[in-house]
Structure formats: C-alpha cells, structure tokens
Amino acid sequence: MIFDLDGTLVDSNDAHAAAFVEAFGEFGFHIGFESVRRLIGMGADKLIARLIGRSDEAIAERKKALFMARHLPRVRPFPRVESLLHELACTGVKLAVASSAAKDELDALLELTHASVCFAQIVGADDAARSKPDPDIVRAALDKLALPAEQCAMVGDTPYDASAARRAGLAFVGVRCGGWLDADLQPAIGVYDDPADLLDGLDSLVKGRGSARQIPS
C-alpha cells in the first residue's frame, strides 16, 4: 500500500497553502489562500507555474523555508495514523510513501507519524523527474517495492493523488481529510473520512470485499 503524506497522514495542507501565500507575497505576487489551497497536492513546480505562468525555484525554496520554520511546528498527524500503519505492517502489507516533498521536509513530516519504521520504502521529489499528478513518484515507489501495480493500492487525499495512481495503474483509496469531496477522489475503490475511518474499515479493504482489486497480505 502506497501512501501520500500531506493531507493523508498529517494535517498539513492548510499550512502548506499559507506558506505558499507568504512566499508569493515576498516576491510581489498577491495570490489568495483559496487559489493556492485547491492546488495543494501538486508538486511545487506545477503549483507555482499554474499560478504565475512559470516555474520559479526561488519561490519554491522560500516557501519550503517558511513552511519548515513557521508552520511545521503546528502540524499534527491525523488521529490513529500510528495505529493504522502498525496494523498494516503487522499483517504483512508492504508500505511505502510517495510524496512530492523533498527529503528534509519529508523526513520531518514522517517523524510526526511516529511510525516511519513501518515504511519499507520512502519516495520523494528527488526520486522522480516529474511531480504529481504525473505518475513518476508512484512508479518509483512501485519499483522500490518490487511489486506490480495490480498488487498495490495508493491512499491519498487529492485528485492529484488519484490521477497519479490511475496513470501508474494502481487502485486508489481516497481520504476526505485533505479537504476534497468524494467526486474529486475518483476513480476509487473506497473513500474514507480519515486514517481512523480507514483503520476501522481495513478488514474489508485488505480482503477486497466489494472491490475487484485485492491487496495481498
């Protein structure tokens, strides 16, 4: 099972959006919070290009610095994330993270879950040429897991995760805690409120009841 991180395991989407707004403002771009928020889940390169018409590494680096210094200290994991990951690992499901974050940011966010040891593989921006919603990061996770796509599923909170999973050939499991509606998280074999809800429905999901795809344990 391949997990997105931001908005899926940790409640960080609003914090990322706020850091982007601050960074844009420092470079003379006055962009509203909601305009940024709906693009969180894309790689920073794509988000910046969508909003100002070009990629800008300086803005991306400043945003990361602002996020790490001002916003990360207030980010928390969603309830029962640690229990969910330990439960999956204990049943023999191989776990990976596939995130558009750079390694330092990724490591700091994973530490918040108190369960990074559960992940067999951790894949970030440095492992793929293109960020989400391109499927490169998800495919890199598959390669590191040494598993075919049909034996895996991805859990994510945005339409960009759903698109990356679909393009990589994976079944997708959506979570609403990132702020998106069920209709945005399609196609999916299931949509859950948050990691706690997913944990409660894990038996049905892992055994593949009600779906055409199965996740091996």
- Per-residue pLDDT tens for 108-157? 999 999 999 999 999 999 999 999 999 999 999 999 999 999 999 999 99
pLDDT band of 207, cuts 50, 70, 90? low
Q: How far apart are CA 15 and CA 21, in angstroms?
A: 10
In a domain, 137, yes or no: yes
* Res. 214 pLDDT band, cuts 50 70 90: very low
Do residues 6 and 43 share a domain? no
Q: What pLDDT shows up at residue 55?
A: 94
* 69 and 106 assigned to the same domain: no
**Inside any domain, residue 146:** yes
Reported as a pLDDT band with limits 50, 70 and 90, residue 52 is very high
Whole-number pLDDT of residue 204 = 75
pLDDT tens for 154-195 read 999 999 999 999 999 999 999 999 999 999 999 999 999 999
Identify which of 65, 3, 59, 8 has the alpha carbon closest to the alpha carbon of residue 36.
59
Q: Does the pLDDT value for residue 206 go beyond 90?
A: no
Domain that holds residue 34: 13-74
212, pLDDT greater than 80: no
Contacts of residue 197, Cβ cutoff 8 Å, sequence gap at least 6:
175
Tokens of 35: 């305009």
pLDDT above 70 covers a percentage of the chain that reads 94
* Distances, alpha carbon 202 to alpha carbons 47, 86, 190, in Å: 33, 12, 11
Same domain? For 61 and 112 the reply is no
Residue 5 gets which letter from DSSP? -
Computed over every residue of the chain, the mean pLDDT equals 93
Give residue 205's pLDDT.
75
Residue 145 has, within 13 A of its CA and on its CB side, a CA count of 27
Count structural domains, the chain.
2
Instruction: Kindly report each contact of residues 213-216 with a partner whose C-beta sits within 8 Å and lies 24 or more positions away, as own/partner.
Output: 213/150, 213/153, 213/171, 213/189, 215/1, 215/93, 215/151, 215/152, 215/153, 215/171, 216/93, 216/151
Report yes or no: 94 and 143 within 8 Å, Cβ to Cβ: no
| 100 close to 44: Cβ distance less than 8 angstroms | yes
Say whether both 60 and 112 belong to one domain: no
Residue 83: inside a domain, yes or no? yes
Last residue within a domain, chosen from 38, 55, 74: 74
- Alpha carbon distance 182, 62 (integer Å): 33
CA dist 161 and 185 (Å) reads 8
Same-domain pairing of 167 and 181: yes
Shared domain for 96 and 166, answered yes or no, is yes
**Does 121 fall in a domain?**
yes
Q: Would 217 be classed as within a structural domain?
A: no
112: domain CATH number is 3.40.50.1000
As a whole number of angstroms, the distance between CA 77 and CA 70 comes to: 17
Q: Give the integer Cα–Cα distance in Å for 41 and 180.
A: 11
Q: Are residues 87 and 67 in the same domain?
A: no
Instruction: For residue 68, name the pLDDT band (cuts at 50, 70, 90).
Output: very high
Please state, for a pLDDT cut of 90, what percent of the chain lies above it.
Answer: 91
How much is the pLDDT for 203? Answer: 81
Give a yes or no: residue 31 inside a domain: yes
Task: At 208, give phi and psi (nearest 5°).
Answer: 80, 15
User: Do 125 and 140 lie in a common domain?
Assistant: yes
